[in-house]
Chains A and B, each alone.
Chain A
Amino acid sequence: MTQHEVVVAGLEHEFRSRGGAVRALDRIDLTIAPGELVTLAGPSGCGKSTLLRILAGLTQPTTGTVHVGADPVTAPGADRGVVFQRPTLYPWLDVRANVEIGLKLRGVPKDERRAIAERQLEVVGLADAADRRPYELSGGMQQRAQIARVLANDPDIILMDEPFGALDALTREKLQAELLDLWRRTGKTILFITHSVDEAVYLGSRVLVMSPRPGRIVFDEPARFVRGGELVPTDEVRTLAEFTDLTTRVREAINH
């Protein structure tokens, strides 16, 4: 797989409206290496979604640049998949067709895209729900389907905006573990936004913290839990002393 690093340089963003200007992001410099799972935590309203939308190409920054490899990001593209906070599955399509839609856009033949969709639905545990409409699924299932839709598109980079924020604790933990497995298996580059410190430390191979408005990166540390040269199994991570320690420091960074 030829993957590229994501380089954010001198990024600033200001929303201008009738009420005046809101400074959402302030001088962000950030490099994400291929295969990292970077989590970004911060209080709500600090600019996390704004940064994600700029990386996705959905919002143009006021100043600064984003590059993926040598290419500047100026518009959305299928190389950067987005999992939105609120599921954006299309209610006029069944779940399978929702998962296929990115492939359909690229003209992948019907049989092939169906096979890919079925496989991705299998991966997220939704094989049985393929024929249902999104509104017939629970919130957790909808989020799974949205992830399958992004995976089917096989992007190099996956941008996730608080995807598990609205789920109950049990479902959230299950999906977190599944995401970790998936990342370890596929080696995708992932930026995962959350307002939960526990989630940030548990999932991230690197944890970032953003300050309240205007958003700035005020904390940036690796968070790989290794024991004897091996990654600690996902179900044991939360019991590690290093985990608790990092959680405490991230929490302090958020509260200054």
Chain B
Amino acid sequence: MTRPTTADRARALLPHVVLLAVVLAAWTAVAASDLVSPSYLTPSPLEVWNAFVRANSDHPIGGGVDRIVRGEENYYLWEHLLASLQRIGLGLVFAVLVGIPLGLLMGVRAIGALLGPYVDFLRSIPPLAYIGFLVAWFGIYDTSKVWLLFLAAFPPIALATLNGVRGVRGDYLDAIRTLGAGRLSTVTQVVLPATLPDILSGLRVAVGFAWTTVVAAELVNGLPGIGGLAYLSGSQNKIALSVACIIVIGLTAIALDLLIRLAERRLAGWRGKD
């Protein structure tokens, strides 16, 4: 097999570029036409771009007033994004800290049989169902949101870990025991590394889940927050800004997914080769 040349890559990219151009052109055409009125409901790609730039800079408030404001709602758009990412980051850290040990524990048959139904139950609940209850318990600020993300993210991680543990080859365990490993080193030297590919798949599911959840959770007191900004701007008829937020949300989700896939390729490249 020869390495793809730059020309090969350019040729492979071409259909994507064409499709994107067509989509943008169609969008521009719809925005320019009178198909939808009032026209602010259909911002053009350029208007969305301008809203995006404005939201990331200090700009005059407009409407004949001289005052300069910072981004949107006193935060730049990237700060809104960062606030959301921090929430899911925190929620995921707790989910990993609880989910992985729980999954490993559930690998012990008796414990798995005991706890399995509860984890299945938690997983089957749409996380947003918790929000009212969590707000009552933890208030409307970030604590309740981080709890929500934790609850959304830990079942997939625990169940993926469990799945991985159950799939560890018996002779891998036999081998490490005959090399002198006790219980703890069996877990750290074999069970965990053997399970890592499954943990990463679980993490990928969890991140996707947490991202949709955080955006939705920010409908209530979600500023700064990219989901909160998307909702607020829409409800204030700043459609261009709202669309900009939506695009940022989508692209961020794709970027997060790519990041974990990259980690999977680096850390779990051996999967399927043993």
Contacts and interface: CB of A to CB of B under 8 A. Distances in A.
A91 to B, nearest CB: 4
A7 to B, nearest CB: 20
Contact of A58 (B174, B181, B190): B174
Given A84-B174, A90-B190, A92-B193, A101 B179 contact: yes
A91 B270 contact: yes
Nearest to B271: A91
B189 interface: yes
Given A82-B174, A135-B273, A90 B180 contact: no
A132 to B, nearest CB: 12
B175 A82 contact: yes
Main secondary structure of the interface of A (DSSP, over half): loop
Interface in B170-222: 171-172, 174-181, 185, 189-190, 193-194, 196
A106 B176 CA distance: 12
Contacts of B169: 88
Contact of B172 (A53, A88, A105, A133): A88
A90 B174 CA distance: 12
Nearest to A92: B193
Nearest to B196: A92
Nearest to B182: A105
**Which residue, A56, A84, A86, A101, has most C-beta atoms of chain B within 10 A?**
A101
A102 interface: yes
Contact of B180 (A56, A86, A106, A135): A106
A76 interface: yes
Nearest to A146: B175
B274 interface: yes
Main secondary structure of the interface of B (DSSP, over half): helix
Interface string B109-136: 0000000000000000000000000000
A90 B168 CA distance: 11
Interface in A52-95: 53, 56-58, 75-78, 80-82, 84, 86, 88, 90-93
Contacts of A144: none
B144 to A, nearest CB: 39
A82 B181 CA distance: 13
A84 B171 contact: yes
Contacts of A90: 172, 190, 193-194
Contacts of A133: 270, 273
A58 B274 contact: no
Nearest to B175: A88
A76 B178 contact: yes
Interface in B253-274: 268, 270, 273-274
Nearest to A78: B180
B273 A91 contact: yes
Interface residues of A, number: 29
A194 interface: no
**Which residue, B172, B178, B180, has most C-beta atoms of chain A within 10 A?**
B178
**Which residue, A53, A56, A58, A88, has most C-beta atoms of chain B within 10 A?**
A88
A109 B196 CA distance: 26
Interface in A124-176: 133-135, 149-150, 153
A88 B171 contact: yes
A141 to B, nearest CB: 15
A135 B274 contact: yes
B171 A102 contact: no
A105 B174 contact: no
A53 B267 CA distance: 33
Given A92-B194, A92-B196, A80 B178 contact: yes
B270 A92 contact: yes
A101 B172 CA distance: 13
Contact of B179 (A58, A75, A78): A78
A102 B180 contact: yes
A94 to B, nearest CB: 10
Contacts of B181: 105
A149 B172 CA distance: 13
A153 B176 CA distance: 12
A113 to B, nearest CB: 12
A80 B174 CA distance: 12
B73 to A, nearest CB: 47
22 contacts: A53-B174, A57-B177, A58-B178, A76-B178, A77-B178, A77-B180, A81-B179, A82-B174, A84-B175, A88-B171, A88-B175, A90-B190, A91-B273, A92-B196, A92-B270, A93-B193, A101-B176, A105-B181, A105-B185, A133-B270, A150-B179, A153-B179
Interface of B: 169, 171-172, 174-181, 185, 189-190, 193-194, 196, 268, 270, 273-274
Interface of A: 53, 56-58, 75-78, 80-82, 84, 86, 88, 90-93, 101-102, 104-106, 133-135, 149-150, 153
